[in-house]
Chain A
Amino acid sequence: MKLSDYEKSILAGDFGEEAQKILDVMVKIYEINGADDFVEVKEVMLASTQNMTISGTLGMDFLTRLADSGIRFRTKTVTDPVSMDIEAWQRLGISSEFARLQEKAIRALINLGVVPTWTCIPYLSGSIHRYGEHLAYVETSVVCFANSYFGARTNREMDITAMAAAITGRTPRYGLHLVDNREGQLLVNVKVDLNTTSDYDVLGHCVGKIAGTRIPVFKNMRGDSSTQALMQLGAALATTGAVPLFHIQGLTPDILFDPEKYGRRRIEEEVTITKGEMETAYDELNTTRSSEIDFVAIGCPHCTIEKIRKVAASLDGKRIKEGVEVWICTSRTMRDLGLAGGEIQTIEKAGAKVVVDTCMVNAPVNQMGFHTMATDSAKSKFYVSGSGIGVRFGDTGKCLQAALTGRWEE
């Protein structure tokens, strides 16, 4: 393993214990994976601060000490959502004690040199990549998106290995950085029409469970397969499974580049998804039969501007039912576009909150007293139901209807 003088100096402890441990992990990951080289990383994406904040002050103290050591991220590093709207946390019912801890983590990350995107859709804030570029991403939905949609190359990193890439600018060449490990393994025959983006959530929920850690190849995909739809598909696949990459015949770049290699050579199983499988998955996504809705959350992954416009059109001139909390979660970039176009004002006027920097998965919604959440996202169903809130899943229109009436229509 050829290490630079800078890396050797960090490993010797010249920048403190935190950076030293981060590089210790990098060296060990290199060894256990039998890597024979490093790849240059174009961009790093860190995980949400949620894990660090909920596990006490340990994570925050770690980040603060790392930033105080003088270490700086050399590679462009973008960030996942934090656990609050950084400017408007008070109106989400977040305590000031909680906010202080978040602010500490945010300050440390900015000192380390991150681009403060605070979103799970950084690709709509400039994180676009050429085919074959190497990345080191943590956020699982973006790992799936970047590998599949751009044909960029990233493993499913953890905070520490991503920070190693941010500090050194490189990562061991193993896993999905090697083209032979990107070949599809599970052929998925889609014998069902995909009419809304939520159908892609249901498909992802269903296939993620079958795939596990394997790479699925979709054939006969009949739907619009818009960017929004593929975001939803990847997020759901990476939730019920540990899927890092998917291929769609005739659509995604790896399989267009070499259909034989990525789509056929290593297929070990074929499954067919019919209406029956989709209905079962849909039922699983509805964890309660209760039709009283007190929380509606849209935007997991964060809403694109197209989705914001759709929400605004549905809520224009209407009024959210009293007692129902409605979050339309998005990035600052998308929010600013929506402010310029007037959609954000329309949504807020109806009584919904446009929430940035965070979402229903990362904010402490389990402490806000909600009973039943309506959502159009399979990923958010998984994380929110884990905290004891009942979930109603349906397409965006159905969720917005529930926001207006406070009731879920079967």
Chain B
Amino acid sequence: MAERFQGRSICSGIGEGEALVTQQGISFWGGVDPTTGTVTEVSHELCGTKLTDKILILPALKGSAGGMWIIIRLAKNKTGPKAIIVPKADTILVGSVIMAGIPTVDALSVNPLEVFKNGDWLKVDGANGTVELSNR
């Protein structure tokens, strides 16, 4: 049975896929290759990992606001995540995901960085601000 978590809508749309959780902020500008969707920041715990088709759960974006253009390119190339979940969205994240059209939810009743594990099957409904967890 699926477990359902209520959060806040940041960007509408539905994204379903495998959870990829990182405890470290991601700098998309200079830290992610928009062609392959791979994290390239050498000191990042996800370095070498592909974000493609994942439900990306991260604490925040970091680095330059120019990261927005990389996120848009990822979405255009279909190499980006299917959806994004953050504890609390800031201006740069809001601007980036809306411009890229990536379903995004924040402010869940639980801490997404602790509750969700790599490989969990998640369905994010960006418009309603909900996340469904199944198949654990």
Chain A residues at the B interface, C-beta cutoff of 8 Å = 21, 24-25, 28-29, 32, 47, 50-52, 54-56, 58-59, 138, 155-161, 386
Q: Is B66 an interface residue (CB 8 A)?
A: yes
Chain A residues near B66 (CB, 8 Å)?
Answer: 47, 50-51, 54-55
Instruction: Give the residues in chain A near B89, CB-CB below 8 Å.
Output: 32
Beyond A28-B10, A51-B68, list 6 extra A-B contacts (CB 8 Å).
Answer: A25-B98, A32-B10, A32-B106, A51-B69, A158-B91, A158-B95
Whether B64 is near chain A, meaning CB under 8 Å from some CB there, is yes
B121 at the interface (CB under 8 A from A): no
| Chain B residue at minimal CB-CB distance from A53 | B69
Known: A32-B10, A159-B68. A51 touches B95 (CB 8 A): no
Instruction: Tell me the B55-73 residues at the A interface (CB within 8 Å).
Output: 64-66, 68-70, 72-73
Please judge, given known A-B contacts A29-B91, A51-B29, A58-B72, whether A159 and B65 are in contact too, CB under 8 Å.
Answer: yes
B94 at interface by CB-CB < 8 Å: yes
A156 to B34, CA, bound (A): 26
Residues of B in contact (CB 8 Å), total 23
Q: A21-B99, A25-B99, A32-B89 are in contact. Are A55 and B69 (CB under 8 A)?
A: yes
Residue in A56, A155, A160 whose beta carbon sits within 8 Å of that of B99 in the complex? A160
Q: Which residue of B lies closest to A55 (CB)?
A: B69
Residues of B contacting A161 in the complex (Cβ-Cβ under 8 angstroms): 91, 95
Task: Please tell me if the beta carbons of B69 and A52 are within 8 angstroms of each other in the complex.
Answer: yes
Closest to A23 in B: B98
Going nearest first, the 4 A-B pairs with the smallest beta carbon separation are: A51-B66, A55-B69, A158-B65, A160-B95
Answer yes or no: B92 CB below 8 A from chain A CBs. yes
> When chains A and B are docked, how far (Å) is the Cα of A215 from the Cα of B91?
19
Chain B residues proximal to chain A, CB less than 8 Å: 8, 10-11, 29-30, 34, 64-66, 68-70, 72-73, 76, 89, 91-92, 94-95, 98-99, 106
A386 and chain B: residue at smallest CB distance: B30
**Majority SS of interface residues in chain A?**
helix
Please tell me if the beta carbons of A32 and B8 are within 8 angstroms of each other in the complex.
yes
- What separation, in Å, do the CA atoms of A138 and B66 have in the docked complex? 11
Q: How long is the Cα–Cα vector from A55 to B76 in the complex, in angstroms?
A: 13
Interfacial chain B residues near A58, Cβ < 8 Å:
69, 72-73, 76
A239 vs chain B, min Cβ distance (A)? 11
A21 touches B65 (CB 8 A): no
Contact partners of A56 in chain B: CB under 8 A: 73
Q: How far is the CA of A158 from the CA of B68 in the complex (A)?
A: 9
A314 CA to B91 CA, complexed, in Å: 45
**CA–CA, A24 and B34, complex, Å:** 24
Query: Considering only CB atoms, which chain B residue lies closest to A138 in the complex?
Result: B65
Instruction: Name the residue of chain B whose CB is nearest to the CB of A174.
Output: B91
A55 x B99 contact (CB < 8 A): no
Contacts of A156 in B (CB 8 A): 91
- B86 CB, min distance to chain A CBs, angstroms: 11
Residues from chain B with a CB closer than 8 A to the CB of A51 are: 29, 64-66, 68-69
Question: Which chain A positions have C-beta within 8 A of B73?
Answer: 55-56, 58
Complex CA gap A155/B92 in Å reads: 12
Q: How far is the CB of B28 from chain A (nearest CB, A)?
A: 10
Taken together as a complex, chains A and B put the C-alpha atoms of A140 and B64 apart, in Å, by 11
In the assembled complex, which residues on chain A have CB atoms less than 8 Å from the CB atom of B94?
25, 28-29, 32
Q: Note all chain A residues with C-beta closer than 8 A to B10.
A: 28, 32
Q: How far is the CA of A396 from the CA of B59 in the complex (A)?
A: 41
B residues less than 8 Å from A55 (CB atoms) = 34, 66, 69-70, 73
Measured between beta carbons, the chain B residues less than 8 angstroms from A158 are 65, 68, 91-92, 95
In the complex, 12 of the A-B residue pairs with CB atoms within 8 angstroms, ordered by the A residue number, are: A21-B99, A24-B98, A25-B94, A28-B94, A29-B91, A32-B10, A32-B89, A55-B66, A55-B69, A158-B92, A161-B91, A386-B30
Contact A28 B72 (CB under 8 A): no
- By the criterion CB–CB under 8 Å, are A21 and B69 in contact? no
- The residue in chain A whose Cβ has the minimal distance to the Cβ of B89 is A32
Q: Which residues of A contact B8 (CB under 8 A)?
A: 32
In-complex Cβ contact of B68 among A50, A54, A160, A386 (8 A): A160
